[in-house]
Chain A
Amino acid sequence: MAVPILKQGDILIASIQAELSDRELADLRDDLAQRVGRLRARGVVIDVTELDVLDSFATRTIRGIAYTAQLRGAKTVVVGIKPEVAFAMVQLGLALDGIATALDLEEGLELLRVGGDRVGSRD
């Protein structure tokens, strides 16, 4: 298991520690999908703090994870996008529309705890 997945209450936390290969990202997606269903999780936090690049494939995968999680009744929050990565993503035209984001793990968990949308979100 390339990416450790922790469980905190009814929330799953996936901390991506290093640059993942496409295969590992796909595995993560499938693994999370499985666990959300099995554990009846209501929230998934994807922590990308350690990632230096979020390219189109990674973004598509994350969207895939969020979509699948939503189908199983869980909300996804992506946390830890670095300033440089956020900048590169918008230059590339990638956005995580419809997926909640937060500054870090703490904020992400808070968001899920509060239960509503991110502050001021229009999604």
Chain B
Amino acid sequence: MLAPEISVPIERESDIVAARQKGRELCADMGFPSTDRTLVATAISEVARNIVSYAGRGELVLSGIEDSGRRGVLVIARDQGPGIADPELALRDGYSTGKSLGMGLPGARRLMDEFELRSLLGAGTTVTMKKWLR
């Protein structure tokens, strides 16, 4: 019933656009309205960009998901990069003061319904995000 997951390698910044497109297509397939498709594509852009900027390479895994009768999309962005020393700080909302660390993570979190960041210094980063059909 749900399409198989799509893996998008992120190695150069042109892959960011590809990841966005795939994300957008998946959302359309799952029946998301236009606004949500843009939100997901934008969140994907931010985390994919982080991979390119900070880790050099990684991958994005996109899939449709189902839970207790509701459907949604799952986006996992992982890399084996340097990791984030202080994940809490990276998620701190610098939006109102304009002083964010520039990693776009707090923003991506606001765009999605569920958001999880796991990172270990020297051992890479995994961002897991979900958006549900309302």
Contacts and interface: CB of A to CB of B under 8 A. Distances in A.
Asked if A and B form a direct contact in the complex, defined as CB atoms under 8 angstroms apart, the reply is yes
Interface string A17-30: 00111110000000
Interface stretch (A65-73, A84-92, A106-114): A84-92
B38 A88 contact: yes
A120 to B, nearest CB: 23
Given A52-B24, A53-B45, A55-B42, A92 B35 contact: no
A24 B97 CA distance: 30
Contacts of B17: 19-21
B41 A94 contact: no
A85 B36 CA distance: 10
From DSSP, what is the main secondary structure of chain A's interface residues? helix
Q: Which of B45, B104, B108, B110 has the most CB of A within 10 A?
A: B45
Interface in B80-129: 93, 95-96, 100, 102, 104, 106-108, 110-111
Contact of B34 (A55, A84, A94): A84
Interface of A: 19-23, 52-57, 82-85, 87-89, 91-94
A16 to B, nearest CB: 13
Contacts of A19: 17, 20-21
Contact of B104 (A53, A54, A55): A55
A52 B27 CA distance: 14
Q: Which of B20, B34, B38, B106 has the most CB of A within 10 A?
A: B38
B41 A53 contact: yes
A84 B38 CA distance: 6
A85 B17 CA distance: 15
B131 to A, nearest CB: 12
B47 to A, nearest CB: 10
B35 A87 contact: yes
Q: Which of A53, A85, A88 has the most CB of B within 10 A?
A: A53
